[in-house]
Homo-oligomer: A and B are copies of this chain.
Amino acid sequence: MAKAAGVSTATAARALGGYGSVSPAVRDRVAEAAERLGYRRNSLARSMITGTTHTIGLVVADIENPFFARAARGVADVAHAAGYEVLLVNSDEDPATERAAVRTLFEKRVDGLIVAPASTDVGSHLGELPRRGTPIVLLDRVVPGIDADAIVVDNERAARRAIGHLAGLGHRRIALLTSQGLVHTNQMRLAGYLQGLGQAGLPVDEGLIRMAEYTREAAVSETEAVLALDDPATAIFTTDNLMSLGAFEGTQRTGRAVPDEVSIVGFDDLEWMTIVRPPITVVAQPTYELGATAATRLLARLAGDDGPPQTLMLETTFIVRGSTGPAPVRTTA
């Protein structure tokens, strides 16, 4: 024990911790001893007594998904700048995994949590934490009835806008390619899609609403399917980047020309979308900021902010690129 080098534990702690008052001589002596012995403070013991671990938990569906990776980076940057570390868990959109993760993180006494909740229902495990004093911020998705801040994007509006764009180009057969399970965001995007159709006076065709398994292959085959209909889609709106990839690849495979025969609008802007031919029109999300503001909000809570829970809605940008064009002229049989 470094304390064996002259002074009491209390004094050594003061010298090392830089609080209380210590004489310069003692401070130096302690510093020297600590250096010599290679002393490293034990954060666990400190956390026990201070009640704060300077660690926040982050639960996302899958860190490998560029969306979450970027959001995580936003979280990590803000957290790190404030002296916090990030404990990361992948939930794979599985409520049970998420529940277990939240529990474990709580037991590890994270100071707060940022969660992209898998399920919109039974968020009881999420609601429990704020009650126990561990603040939680919902990322990207909202769970009704939870006493927590949420940082989201206006998915409905973004989807409406995308559909409006396509309808404005004369498209009447607009497909929606989303994934099974209907996470909260996708529900909103579906809602926006339906509203968009309504505003454009277009009918809803169940056959154009495709819910693919969450894999590239499934997205590809759903795309092919929707293009192989008797009255095929002339435009495809996807609800996330994996579906965008599938839609693009599926369209390629059918040999349809983009945008002359099929238009594509993706959700979430990734780097490859501009080097692909044609580049893809997308709803760009402020992904990094989503994570960063979630962290900022959480830090505010940790700093004592106990105002009512807020839901912050960040702006999306609709970026028109080459993948959308006028609907092909109807060659009515």
A-side residues, CB < 8 A to B, are 38, 40-45, 47-48, 53, 55, 62-64, 66, 69-70, 72-73, 76-77, 80, 85-90, 103-109, 128, 132, 216, 245, 248-249, 252, 270-272, 274-277
In the docked arrangement, what's the CA distance between A42 and B106, Å?
A: 8
Contact of A85 among B70, B77, B89, B275 (CB under 8 A): B89
Residue pair A72, B63 in contact (C-beta under 8 Å): yes
Contacts of A276 in B (CB 8 A): 272, 275-277
A85-B69 CB under 8 A given contacts A44-B47, A248-B275: no
| Min C-beta distance of A181 to chain B, whole Å | 19
In the docked arrangement, what's the CA distance between A98 and B89, Å?
A: 21
In the docked arrangement, what's the CA distance between A45 and B72, Å?
A: 29
| Min C-beta distance of A260 to chain B, whole Å | 16
Contacts of A85 in B (CB 8 A): 87, 89, 104-105, 108
Contacts of A132 in B (CB 8 A): 38, 40
Stoichiometry, copies per complex: 2
| Min C-beta distance of A231 to chain B, whole Å | 27
Contacts of A277 in B (CB 8 A): 276-277
Contact of A45 among B48, B66, B249, B272 (CB under 8 A): B48
- Which residue of the partner chain B has the closest CB to A53? B44
- Which residue of the partner chain B has the closest CB to A109? B44
Contacts of A43 in B (CB 8 A): 107-109
A64-B55 CB under 8 A given contacts A85-B104, A216-B271: no
In the docked arrangement, what's the CA distance between A38 and B70, Å?
A: 35
Contact of A109 among B38, B42, B77, B216 (CB under 8 A): B42
Contacts of A47 in B (CB 8 A): 44
Residue pair A90, B73 in contact (C-beta under 8 Å): yes
Residue pair B40, A44 in contact (C-beta under 8 Å): no
- Which residue of the partner chain B has the closest CB to A62? B73
Contacts of A76 in B (CB 8 A): 63, 88-90
| Min C-beta distance of A268 to chain B, whole Å | 13
